[in-house]
Amino acid sequence: MAPDQFNIRHLAAMAAVVEQGSVSLGARAVNLTQPAVTQGIAKLEAQLGLPLFERLPGGMAPTEAALALAPRVDAALRLIGSRRVTAAQIRAFVALARAGSYPAAAAEAGVTEPSLHRAVGDLGLAMGYRLADRRGRGLALTRQGALLARRLRLALAELRSGLEDIAVLRGQESGRIVVGAMPLSRARLLPAAIARFRAEYPQVDISVHEGSHAELVGPLRDGEVDMMIGALRDPSIGQDLTQTPLFEDRPIIIGRAGHPLTGGWTPDDLRRFPWILPPEGAPLRQLWQRMLEAMGGELPAVPIECGSVMTIRQLLLGGDYLTLLSVDQLALELDVGIVAGIGSAPGSVSRTIGITTRTDWRPTRLQGRFLDAVETEAGKIYS
């Protein structure tokens, strides 16, 4: 079942009964009648396929499933910000925020365009502010609308995690883990971690989203990516993100096989050849700059900015370029001799590789097991 198919008021009623300890107090907390709460919980149980409460002579006692789901529901309700919001409105607005137009969003959500217009309009009324402005033939979310879209995506991520928690209780080790893979993690660490995890949990799907830090941090903050693996950034990136170090990587200087510098080089030699490097601001670019500045003199030319290891490899083969990369990233090419290690980067040149997650993220059991697999493989490979 998709997380945006739930009745929000039924979820709120269930969480309130768990918190208050009785149907009557729970009903009062969500402004519903006791029969409405009881009926809503029954519908939730039918949707989930397992009981949320034990019916006892003295009332209703929450089951393990309710105790697992309630904190996720509470977090989702705080993010949604209003109990007047419906699941249909959430589906409509999240689709609109993703698609950028009403026709495309209606097609994505599987509803008519007038229905989507109405749902988004009703959501704006429920929240008390305008969500989007027309811009020519398109539209742009208002500042408040963009913030709400992020909160709703995070709310859906919480409910999705709640469903996965319940699936584990039902003995179903299934679900999907979404990993944001920055360049260094793709060569050895992430494949090894996935293989280890899948050997134990073959029913769990892994979705790998490749990209730079700049490309992945937005989806991470929106709850569309569970974790990012790669070079860590300065802690000032934001208090909403937590960075966990795994190991230190020391990149080396690499060129084509037969490069003029394979027999040795001086600092002046490194300035005579063109470089291929990631864009300004990337950790590897900053390490390169510090390395050259420590040797004195002007920085050499960087005629090609590129973060794709595959593209860098092909460019190296076609000229006397130099680059700075981890051995892992071109291990196969180094082993077969189509590129060559020019030498270790001089000085204290290293970068910390680790896992980045949202600070308020609470991993499911399976997500926690995947994190364990990543940490285990990092210890094996880089110890």
Whether residues 244 and 358 fall in one domain: yes
Average pLDDT of the residues in 108-117: 91
Q: Is residue 282 part of a domain?
A: yes
**In whole angstroms, what is the distance from residue 202 CA to residue 246 CA?**
25
Among 1, 45, 355, smallest CA distance to 179 is for: 355
Whether residues 214 and 258 fall in one domain: no
Strands 241-249 and 351-358: antiparallel
Q: Is residue 290 part of a domain?
A: yes
Average pLDDT of the residues in 281-310: 88
CATH number at residue 327: 3.40.190.10
Mean pLDDT of the chain: 91
Q: State the Cα angle at 19 between 77 and 148, rounded to 5°.
A: 5
10 pLDDT more than 80:
yes
Over its C-alpha atoms, the chain yields an Rg (Å, rounded) of 26
**In whole angstroms, what is the distance from residue 25 CA to residue 32 CA?**
10
Whether residues 262 and 335 fall in one domain: yes
pLDDT for residue 282: 85
CB half-sphere exposure, 164, CA atoms < 13 A: 21
pLDDT digit string, tens, across residues 314-333: 999 999 999 999 998 898 89
Whether residues 259 and 296 fall in one domain: yes
pLDDT for residue 151: 95
- CA 37 vs CA 83, 155, 199, 229: distances in Å: 14, 22, 43, 43
**What percent of the chain stands above pLDDT 70?**
99
Q: Is residue 260 part of a domain?
A: yes
Average pLDDT of the residues in 219-233: 94
- Tokens 């709850």: give the residue: 223
- CA 51 vs CA 65, 84, 207: distances in Å: 8, 26, 31
pLDDT for residue 21: 87
pLDDT for residue 139: 86
- CA 227 vs CA 134, 218, 222, 263, 315: distances in Å: 34, 11, 11, 42, 31
Amino acid type, 134: R
**Strand partners for 227:** 179
Q: Collect all residues with Cβ–Cβ distance below 8 Å to 347 and sequence separation of at least 6.
A: 290, 291, 294, 295
Q: Structural domain tally of the chain?
A: 3
Whether residues 279 and 321 fall in one domain: yes
Q: Is residue 117 part of a domain?
A: yes
Q: Is residue 53 part of a domain?
A: no
Whether residues 302 and 270 fall in one domain: yes
CATH number at residue 108: 1.10.10.10
Report the predicted TM-score, pTM, of the whole model to 2 decimal places.
0.84
13 pLDDT more than 90:
yes
Q: Is residue 70 part of a domain?
A: no
SS3 53: strand
Among 88, 104, 84, smallest CA distance to 96 is for: 104
Among 376, 324, 3, smallest CA distance to 167 is for: 3
**Strand partners for 324:** 253
261 pLDDT more than 90:
yes
Domain that holds residue 271: 251-349
Whether residues 111 and 256 fall in one domain: no
pLDDT digit string, tens, across residues 42-90: 999 999 988 999 988 777 899 999 999 999 999 999 999 988 899 999 9
Whether residues 323 and 378 fall in one domain: no
pLDDT digit string, tens, across residues 156-180: 999 999 998 888 888 877 788 999 9
Whether residues 199 and 244 fall in one domain: yes
Whether residues 357 and 312 fall in one domain: no
Residue 124 phi, psi (nearest 5): -60, -40
pLDDT digit string, tens, across residues 151-162: 999 999 999 999
Whether residues 313 and 231 fall in one domain: no
DSSP count for the chain of H helices, then E strands: 15, 14
SS3 282: coil
Q: Is residue 28 part of a domain?
A: no
Whether residues 243 and 273 fall in one domain: no
Q: Is residue 230 part of a domain?
A: yes
